[in-house]
Amino acid sequence: MAPIIVIDPGHGGYDPGARGYGLTEKDIVLEVALQTERILQAYAVTVELTRRDDTYVVIPARTARANQMSADLFVSIHVNAGGGTGFESFVYSTAPAKTVELQRQIHGDLARFYARYGFRDRGRKTANFAVLRQTVMSAILVENLFIDHPVDNARLKHPVFRSAIAQILANSLVKAMQLKLKNQVWAPEWEIERLRLAKLVVCLHHPGDTLLWGQYATVLNRVRERSDSGTVWDPEREIGLLVEDRLLASARQPAQVVPWGEFATVLNRLRQRSVEKPGWDPRAEVELLIRDGLLVSVREPGALVNWGEFATVLNRYLYN
Ligand SMILES: [Zn+2]
């Protein structure tokens, strides 16, 4: 039997939760919950949400549903408020070791993600919250930054950042609950779809399509929040930004294909990883991707990168 995960977006309806600088907790947590569910659809897992729209569901109904389903895990998603900053998570005060271990894993993944943006880890905590107390399965409540802190709030305003929270949470659940992909070991279409869900890719791409420099530059610039393509896409400008920021030595034509050696070099510079050798060694750049677990098998530096491979490598870098 596939595991059952109940995701609980806090608040809803007449209960807005916390508010600050034009953001409302109930909206953010619903968006993150729906996206997490969407990402988990590729896996053998039953995901249930305690609410799917802007309505208030009383706490006993949320927990009773999870108990009736004999869920394996209950994840309550919230955004904090009250004058702090950073990320924290909660389990019930007398949670068993298994739950504490799940908290350690899920908290660790989210805290590492938030740390990349300079947010502080407020720690793994316990509390006597109703959602944690009334659920019979392992239950964890995550408080994703402070809506009333200007720095936290500015991050939460970014749709790409909110999507990244869902991606990180989904990946963390995959690892913590040992979820398996439904059909294949590797699903390149799904990797591309994840980039689309993360709002890093707009158009449809097929896994076998060769990656072009204009496309590669645009996605990388979105990742580093540097893209300035507004309504009109300007791939030359996107490539120019990579050159300007010294991720790429010289300009390329937008329709030029991307070989593995160059692909790896640019990505390694973005990751601030470098080959410890003088001069440019494209083979070593590809090997560095393998060493860091982003790529499974060797590619010739001159071989062309396709979209399925690109999406897979990027997702591993961003969300694992
Ligand atoms: Zn809340």
Which of 176, 204, 219 terminates a domain? The answer is 176
Helix (H, G, I), strand (E, B) or coil at 122: strand
* Under-50 pLDDT residues of the chain: none
Sheet with 121-127: strands ordered across: 46-49, 4-9, 73-80, 138-146, 87-92, 121-127
Alpha-carbon span 212 to 26, nearest angstrom? 40
215 domain-assigned = yes
Query: Is there a single domain that holds both residue 231 and residue 97?
Result: no
DSSP conformation class of 123: E
| Residue owning tokens 């440019």 | 280
CA 87–ligand 1 middle distance (angstroms): 13
Query: Is there a single domain that holds both residue 235 and residue 155?
Result: no
- The verdict on whether 143 is a catalytic residue reads yes
181 domain-assigned = no
Which of 145, 176, 207 terminates a domain? The answer is 176
Query: Is there a single domain that holds both residue 158 and residue 253?
Result: no
39 domain-assigned = yes
231 domain-assigned = yes
How many distinct helices (H) and strands (E) make up the chain?
12, 8
Which of 117, 146, 176 terminates a domain? The answer is 176
CA 25–ligand 1 middle distance (angstroms): 7
CB-based contact 127:115 (threshold 8 Å): no
Per-residue tokens: 202: 């707009």
Alpha-carbon span 17 to 79, nearest angstrom? 8
pLDDT on residue 230: 62
CA 84–ligand 1 middle distance (angstroms): 14
Query: Is there a single domain that holds both residue 289 and residue 224?
Result: yes
CB-based contact 127:133 (threshold 8 Å): no
**E strand or H helix that includes residue 319:** helix 307-319
Kindly indicate whether the ipTM for this predicted assembly is greater than 0.95, answering yes or no.
Answer: yes
CA 310–ligand 1 middle distance (angstroms): 37
Query: Is there a single domain that holds both residue 22 and residue 171?
Result: yes
Query: Is there a single domain that holds both residue 38 and residue 111?
Result: yes
CB-based contact 254:235 (threshold 8 Å): yes
Domain total in the chain: 2
Q: Where are the beta strands (DSSP E) in the chain?
A: 4-9, 19-20, 23-24, 46-49, 73-80, 87-92, 121-127, 138-146
125 domain-assigned = yes
- Burial class of residue 272 (count of CB atoms within 10 Å of its CB; 0-12, 13-18, 19+): exposed
> Which range marks the domain in which residue 11 is found?
4-176
Alpha-carbon span 8 to 134, nearest angstrom? 13
CA 50–ligand 1 middle distance (angstroms): 14
CA 5–ligand 1 middle distance (angstroms): 19
Query: Is there a single domain that holds both residue 133 and residue 247?
Result: no
18-77 pLDDT per residue, tens = 999 999 999 999 999 999 999 999 899 999 999 999 999 999 999 999 999 999 999 999
CA 118–ligand 1 middle distance (angstroms): 22
pLDDT on residue 26: 98
pLDDT on residue 181: 86
138 domain-assigned = yes
Per-residue tokens: 191: 């990797």
33 domain-assigned = yes
CATH of the domain at 123: 3.40.630.40
The catalytic position among 143, 238, 262, 285 is 143
CA 144–ligand 1 middle distance (angstroms): 9
pLDDT on residue 319: 87
Query: Is there a single domain that holds both residue 135 and residue 202?
Result: no
CA 61–ligand 1 middle distance (angstroms): 17
201 domain-assigned = yes
Query: Is there a single domain that holds both residue 86 and residue 32?
Result: yes
Query: Is there a single domain that holds both residue 163 and residue 192?
Result: no
Q: From the CB of residue 157, how many other CB atoms can be counted at a distance below 10 Å?
A: 13
Query: Is there a single domain that holds both residue 13 and residue 137?
Result: yes
Alpha-carbon span 209 to 42, nearest angstrom? 22
pLDDT on residue 228: 65
Query: Is there a single domain that holds both residue 214 and residue 249?
Result: yes
